[in-house]
Amino acid sequence: MNDKYDYYERYSDYQEQYTRPNDRRSRRKRKKVAHHVAKKSEDDIIAEIAETIGLEGGFETTYTPSLHEETFLLEAVRPFYTEELISDVLMLVKGGKEANVYCCKAGVGSSSDLLAAKVYRPRKFRTIRNDAVYRQGRTILDNDGNEVRDSRELRALAKKSGFGINIQHTSWLVHEFVAMSELWEAGAAVPQPYEVGDNAILMEYVGDATMAAPTLQSVRLEKRHAKRLLEKLLFNIELMLTKGWIHGDLSAFNVLYWHEDVTVIDFPQVINPTRNRDAYNLLLRDVQRVCDYFARQRMHVDARVFTHDLWQRHFSQRQDDRLADESRFEIEVSE
């Protein structure tokens, strides 16, 4: 209804009020005057839902989220709260393109003091990434980490319906959790993952109560640490490969630096080296970005040589002599 129409409607109502005969029958026939009821804003509705979620769950957080954040944060971490894995959300560590990471107080069910909850942003707030390259050769995983085979779900995925997009979204999250779990078990330098929910992953927190670990990108390493850390990262790239994973988005932005040590994070886009046509190039890009960062710290490794050597050893030769022996690549130190 446009404003003009509305105006005439009302006008005729008023006119009727002054000219109407005041008998019962006419009163009954009379149209009701539409009283203007203020519409609830989207923010009011979100706030109401968030309040219900928080209160019903008996879950109040030290951290005060913004209005839009509150709903998705509380919904996502409430299962962790219910399982007593966390007892509070203390601070927002970082709002990223795809996810927000929060520092949480661990619950009685956990052995650490602090945990990190990576909460994926609702689809409309997330930056759409060009994900086709990562999806090649990937199985779609459900919440339990099993391959999606149900024909209705497969149809929804193909049609990219809302339901299909949700399945795809869960699959990213579960891939991240599965990869982190396997890598952590294998001794890789990744945060220990604890639990995965519909929209969040709970994992080891790197940092302390005052600050989260910075990314490698934002620190300048002392020379005495740089060589060891470069070796450690190259070793981890190789370890990942032996477990069937390539990070796919590795760079100094996705490595945390804390107590002179490194931890690799951010795994939703992990790819399978044998099933993805672009695996070699994605591996090379990961290695190149790590080498570029260390070149700025005056440590030089030829990324192409390293990647080629790695690939040869793992995919062209015997599979049992797998892990790097450090003499296979050389680090040149410049003054």
String of DSSP letters for 83-110? TTSEEEEEEEEEE-SSEEEEEEEE-TT-
Binding mask 206-245 for Mg ion (x = CB under 5 A): ----------------------------------------
What gap in Å lies between CA 53 and CA 32, rounded to an integer?
38
Nearer CB in complex with ligand ATP: 192/331: 192
**Alpha-carbon distances of 209 from 73, 89, 105, 160, 190, rounded to whole Å:** 20, 12, 9, 42, 20
Rounded to 5 degrees, what are φ and ψ at 120? -70, 140
Counting contacts by CB under 6 A, is residue 206 touching ligand ATP?
yes
Of 194, 188, 201, 191, the residue nearest 268 (C-alpha): 201
CB of 254 to Mg ion, least distance (A): 5
Exactly one of 178, 207, 280, 331 binds ligand ATP (CB under 6 A); which one? 207
Exactly one of 196, 200, 213, 282 binds ligand ATP (CB under 6 A); which one? 213
CB of 225 to Mg ion, least distance (A): 22
Amino acid at 140: I
217 secondary structure, DSSP code: G
CB of 307 to Mg ion, least distance (A): 22
Counting contacts by CB under 5 A, is residue 266 touching Mg ion?
yes
CB-based contacts of 155, cutoff 8 Å, min separation 6: 164
Counting contacts by CB under 6 A, is residue 118 touching ligand ATP?
yes
Collapsed DSSP state (helix, strand, coil) of residue 213:
coil
Please state the separation of Cα 108 from the chain's center in Å. Answer: 25
Of 106, 42, 109, the residue nearest 70 (C-alpha): 42
Binding mask 247-286 for ligand ATP (x = CB under 6 A): ------xx-x--------xx--------------------
Residue span binding Mg ion (CB under 5 A) among the ranges 167-175, 227-235, 266-274, 297-305: 266-274
CB of 251 to Mg ion, least distance (A): 9
Q: How many chain residues bind ligand ATP (CB under 6 A)?
A: 23
b/e burial code for range 66-92 (CB count within 10 A of at least 16 → b) = eebbbbbbbbbbbbbbeeebbbbbbbb
Nearer CB in complex with ligand ATP: 57/207: 207
Nearer CB in complex with ligand ATP: 254/307: 254
Helices 67-82 + 42-56 axis angle, to 10 = 20
**Alpha-carbon distances of 73 from 49, 87, 128, 169, 239, rounded to whole Å:** 12, 14, 20, 17, 34
CB of 217 to ligand ATP, least distance (A): 9
Residue span binding ligand ATP (CB under 6 A) among the ranges 29-37, 44-52, 198-206, 225-233: 198-206
CB of 253 to Mg ion, least distance (A): 6
Which residues are at the interface with ligand ATP (CB under 6 A)? Answer: 93-94, 96-99, 101, 116, 118, 191, 203-207, 212-213, 215, 253-254, 256, 265-266
